[in-house]
Chains A and B, each alone.
Chain A
Amino acid sequence: MNQNSNAAFADLGPDEIQALAGEYVLGTLSLAERQAVAAQLATHGALRAAVDAWERRFLPLTSLAEPVAPSRHLWQRVERSLDSLSALLKTAGPAVKKKAIPWWRDWQSLPLWQALTAGGFAAAAVLASVLVFQVAALKPDTRYMVVLVAPQDKSPGWVMQTSTAKHIELIPLGQFEVPADKALELWTKADGWNAPISLGLVTPGKRLNVSLEQIPGLQANQLFELTLEPSTGSPTGRPTGPIHFIGRSVQVL
């Protein structure tokens, strides 16, 4: 998936890149096209430069929208969310011993998960209570949140949340270095699936919007993992490298 879209973007000429970037910033691309462009921004320098230039050109037009005073409660809501976020970051639990074998081979028995379910759930629930992004008014679908923590010290590194009825977004909570010849790959597996499914490569510090159409489903207690893989992704279609972050989905609201 990733390689195909890379190739498609690599074929674009300078004018096509400008046109695509212009429409991206203007907002006339479809959601799928928007996400394809967004996914390329981290690695496609020319596209990123073109998007940045269009953002600068059009920014003054934002002043055409009349300011609207927010309701008095909005800042309090933001504050509560930030409080919960920082509480979660502070209360990262004690160390959990890391397993030497690839996690997916051993995943029926990995004690790590039990620890995560116990420790991670409370943290996730706190975060979920406020960090759930309020699309509920429009979309009654069940929503989920995942807090991905480092296996060693259980410090949260990423949050995932269903951003819309059809997408789940992976949001970085910090910057992480990966070796130049390596990449982080996102995987998921629900109970009853035979094997984990790749959701693509992840750029450290960058958010990733994952279409739920890529996977058979999303349910409570579904496993999400970031593993360290070769820069082009796992050669086998299964996780091969060590786990960097791990978490399970929690149903919210």
Chain B
Amino acid sequence: MPVPLSEFDYEAALLACAAGQRSAMQQLYEQESARLLGVVRRIVRDSALAEDIVHDACVSIWTRAASFDPARGSARGWIYSVTRNLALNAQRDGQRQADIPEETVQALGDQASLVAWQEVIHSSQWEDSAARVGHCLGELEPVRRDCILYAYVDGLSQKEIAERVTAPLGTVKAWIKRSLAALRECMS
């Protein structure tokens, strides 16, 4: 069973993986696989493919653990970066345009995501960083915030986002650029 994020030493787990300790990889899997699968599944929108990608991510994490550099960020962040990159590469490749489940669309309506997320951050140990991005997202106009969440959480392309929010593609591109600049300013 996963333990609270603050009680699991992700960096030690990666170090042990780099040293070839299979038990460390298993612990990491038990700790994080359900959350990783959740993230990947939202992006690729296909259960079987999502499991394939988590499998690939585990092999990649195990193989590349020695290349993790704590100076560049947290161990947990690295694990998500490896996994999201695999998912995004799969999603951006080819012409697949899987339908987005209706419940996802609804979940992303108005502020639902942020509300759900408030619950998450209050139950975890990393309120600071979460609250910061949450606060700064809250400063954005709702439609622009949705663009950011559609992209990051649901892995939608800019074209898909434009369809989803019924705005011209050029407008969505400009919104995303300006929102990123605003987020960076707000979080600095």
Chain A positions within 8 Å of B, measured between CB atoms, are 15, 18-19, 22-23, 25-31, 34, 38, 48, 52, 55-71, 74-75, 77-79, 81-82, 85-86, 131, 133-135, 137-139, 163-167, 171-175, 205-207, 209
Contact = CB atoms under 8 A, between A and B. Distances in A.
A27 to B, nearest CB: 5
A137 B48 contact: yes
Contacts of B46: 138
A56 B59 contact: no
A38 B183 CA distance: 23
B55 A165 contact: no
**5 smallest A-B Cβ distances: which pairs?**
A60-B130, A22-B180, A134-B52, A67-B34, A31-B92
Contacts of B20: 86
A64 B34 contact: no
Given A23-B176, A137-B48, A139-B94, A56 B149 contact: no
Most buried by A among B34, B93, B124: B93
Contacts of A25: 152
A78 B59 contact: yes
Describe B's contact surface by its main secondary structure.
Answer: helix
B39 to A, nearest CB: 5
Interface residues of B, number: 77
A82 B56 contact: no
B97 interface: no
A64 B52 CA distance: 21
B137 to A, nearest CB: 8
B89 A34 contact: yes
Contacts of A139: 94
A28 B176 contact: yes
B3 interface: no
A56 B77 contact: yes
Given A19-B177, A31-B89, A85-B59, A56 B41 contact: no
Nearest to A30: B92
Interface in B42-94: 42-43, 46-52, 54-56, 58-60, 62-64, 66-67, 72-74, 76-77, 80-81, 84-85, 88-94
Contacts of A23: 176-177, 180
A137 B49 CA distance: 8
A70 B51 contact: yes
B35 interface: yes
B73 A56 contact: yes
B22 interface: yes
Given A31-B92, A138-B49, A175 B113 contact: no
A64 B120 contact: yes
Interface string B5-43: 000000000000000101001100100011101110111
A175 B67 contact: yes
Nearest to A66: B38
A59 B80 contact: yes
Contacts of A61: 117, 133, 149, 152-153
B151 A70 contact: no
Given A23-B176, A61-B152, A63-B117, 17 more contacts: A18-B184, A22-B180, A27-B152, A28-B158, A48-B72, A56-B77, A63-B120, A75-B29, A78-B58, A81-B58, A81-B59, A82-B25, A85-B59, A133-B52, A163-B89, A171-B60, A173-B63
